[in-house]
Chain A
Amino acid sequence: MARMSGGVGAAVPELRLEEVSVRHGRRRVVEPLTWVHRAGRIAWLIGENGAGKSSLLRVLAGRMRPATGTVTLLDPAGRSGERIYYRPAMRLPGGVTAGAWARLMERLAGPAAAGAEEPMAVLRPSVPENRLLGRVSTGEAKRTLLEALLRKPAPFVFLDEPYEHLSARARDALTEVLVARAKTAVVVVATNQPIPDAAAGPVVQVDGERAVVIEPEESRWMS
């Protein structure tokens, strides 16, 4: 019997896992998992370092083949191939100015948010145009990468440790962006950080062998 989470009834993007298991080298890190998640709330992958949450996220995002089972992404609008995938190893090219990078992202991902108070604008760091990206802080670089990706209207969003190195204000802005996005898109976030109260959603706990799906109601009394 598949665990089901997220929106019910409405025609929204859906992520469907059927008997999906994940291997890390020769070691199986996730035993067969069957789970359906629909847009509506953010789904969280949690677990210790090395437990397999990043591997599972890579499988969900289509970046890695599962050891067994199938992952299905369904979008009623027919944009199932469009997805966003981010992992912390992604870095900016050091020899490019912030202005040139911003112009490139405008072309590739679309225009940036205009209103200064919008969460997307808060997420975007204010870096002088002529500063080389090799000289921005780690947090500014992460925000630059994430903010550009989140401009893209993909129905599937897979983020691995997006809160790492972010200031409290940027974390709140990111949470606000993701909560809003999760209403119309499947958003799955792998994290080691505490889940923000405003973003409670189904949790997949990975412990290096099994992956257990916990609904927000269950996770509240568990914590």
Chain B
Amino acid sequence: MDVVNRTTDALAAGPMGSAAPAARGRLRALVAVELQRAMRSPGALVGVAGFLILLGVGHWSYWTSLPPRPEDDRLFVWGYIVAMCGMFRLGLSEDRELALDEYLVSNLVSPLRYALSKLLATIAVVGIFGAGAFVCAAAASAGDFQYAAWYTVLMTLVVWTLLPVLLLVEFGIDTRYPALFVLLIFIAAVVVGRLALGPIAIVRVMGLELERYVYSSLAPLGVRALVAGWVLVLLYPLWRLRLVGRAGWSWAKV
């Protein structure tokens, strides 16, 4: 009888009388799960496969051509774009579909911690893929580290500058592959910009006036990446407002 009473009391108390879990571990645990979701998604697998195939084709073409060999990216850029189409995502729209945002934010985590975990996991995915792309490019080019590092840094910066666009796409569109929409928006912007401003001006606006292997020429793109970081911070209230309809604040008077 005593046992039954103790069990009932413990249940009434809620979480088995335990202390609240440490706050700092929550973010780490959330990021770990987000990372696992991103890495195991079918899009990530297809993206990585696409990158490897394109990089292989590019290098096969490079190594089988007679000297002087072409000084181009050997399909690294296209491969990177294909990979990002599959794996560049915050997962907000997927969470909306699963009502997982509501489950987590209504009950277990603050909106800020939820947002941060999404962002950190996305940055980690881009970083991990960048490291892998560098290794693959260095191997395929028989140790041409200059080539591998240049294109990895370039594409990582481009992807980082597009993060606010990704966020806005995930606000508005319910899709598991938001990067495809980012790519479409990017292409549309380039086409419209070319018509409106001319080809040189649009390259300058995008910070892509680059000199191959000259890292100082990446400075305009770096500035845009920095600005993108701040834009993300400024978009946080909008992110939170988007959550309200699903899992946001209470209207109840407390």
* B100 and A91 contacting across the interface, CB-CB below 8 Å: yes
The answer to whether A111 and B107 touch across the interface, beta carbons within 8 angstroms, is no
Closest A residue, CB atoms, query B250: A62
Beta-carbon contact of A153 and B253 below 8 Å: no
Contact A154 B14, beta carbon cutoff 8 Å: yes
**Cβ contact within 8 Å between A81 and B99:** no
Nearest opposing residue in chain A for B108, CB measure: A108
Cα A109 to Cα B14 with chains together (Å): 10
In-complex Cβ contact of A95 among B29, B37, B254 (8 A): B37
Interface residues on B, range: 35 or more
Q: Return B39 CB to nearest CB of chain A, in Å.
A: 8
For residue A120, CB closer than 8 A to chain B, the reply is yes
Cβ contacts A76-94/B at 8 Å (1 or 0 each): 0000110111110111110
* Closest Cβ neighbor of A177 among chain B residues: B11
A114 neighbours in B (Cβ, 8 Å): 16
| A70 beta carbon closer than 8 Å to chain B | yes
> B156 at interface (Cβ–Cβ under 8 A)?
no
CA distance A184 to B99 in the complex (A): 28
Main secondary structure of the interface of B (DSSP, over half): helix
Asked if residues A110 and B15 are in contact (CB atoms below 8 Å), the reply is yes
A100-B33, A180-B12 given as contacts; is B254 within 8 A of A72 (CB)? yes
Q: Name the interface residues of A164-182: CB closer than 8 Å to any CB of B.
A: 176-177, 180-181
Interface-facing stretch out of A2-10, A47-55, A144-152: A144-152
> Nearest Cβ in chain A — how far from B44, in angstroms?
9
Contact partner, B21, options A87, A106, A150, Cβ 8 Å: A106
> Considering the chains assembled together, what is the distance between the CA atoms of A62 and B22 in angstroms?
27
> Distance in Å from the Cβ of B146 to the closest Cβ of chain A?
37
Interchain nearest-CB distance for A94 vs B (Å): 8
Contact B37 A181 (CB under 8 A): no
Q: Does A195 contact B (CB under 8 A)?
A: no
Give the chain B neighbours of A104 by CB distance below 8 A.
Answer: 29-30, 32-33
Contact indicator A120/B16 (Cβ below 8 Å): yes
A145 CA / B41 CA spacing, docked (Å): 21
Q: Are B252 and A62 in contact (CB under 8 A)?
A: yes
Report the contact-size class of chain A (Cβ under 8 Å from the partner): 35 or more
Contact partners of B25 in chain A: CB under 8 A? 107
Say yes or no: A70 contacts B12, CB within 8 Å. Answer: no
Which chain A residues lie closer than 8 Å to B30 at the CB level?
A: 104, 107-108
User: A72-B254, A107-B26, A108-B108 in contact; A101/B33 too (CB < 8 A)?
Assistant: yes
Q: Is the CB of B16 within 8 A of A72?
A: no
Q: Which of B36, B41, B106, B253 contacts A70 (CB 8 A)?
A: B253
CB-defined contacts of B194 to chain A, threshold 8 Å = none
Q: Which residues of B contact A185 (CB under 8 A)?
A: 14
Q: How far, in angstroms, from A95 to B35 measured CA to CA in the complex?
A: 10
A23 on the interface (CB 8 Å rule)?
Answer: no
- Within 8 Å of chain A (Cβ to Cβ): is B196? no
Nearest Cβ in chain A — how far from B32, in angstroms?
7
In the bound complex, residues from chain B placing their C-beta under 8 Å from that of A119 are 7, 11
Q: A62-B250, A181-B11 are in contact. Are A84 and B36 (CB under 8 A)?
A: no
**Can you give 18 contacting A-B residue pairs, CB < 8 Å?**
A61-B252, A62-B252, A64-B251, A72-B252, A72-B253, A85-B107, A89-B99, A90-B98, A93-B94, A96-B36, A101-B33, A104-B30, A107-B30, A110-B20, A111-B16, A151-B14, A152-B107, A181-B12
For the complex of A and B, 10 pairs with smallest distance between CB atoms:
A153-B14, A62-B250, A180-B11, A80-B254, A110-B15, A95-B40, A62-B252, A107-B29, A108-B108, A151-B15
Not counting A59-B251, A87-B102, a sample of 6 additional A-B residue pairs whose C-beta atoms are within 8 angstroms of each other reads: A93-B94, A100-B33, A101-B33, A104-B32, A110-B16, A119-B11
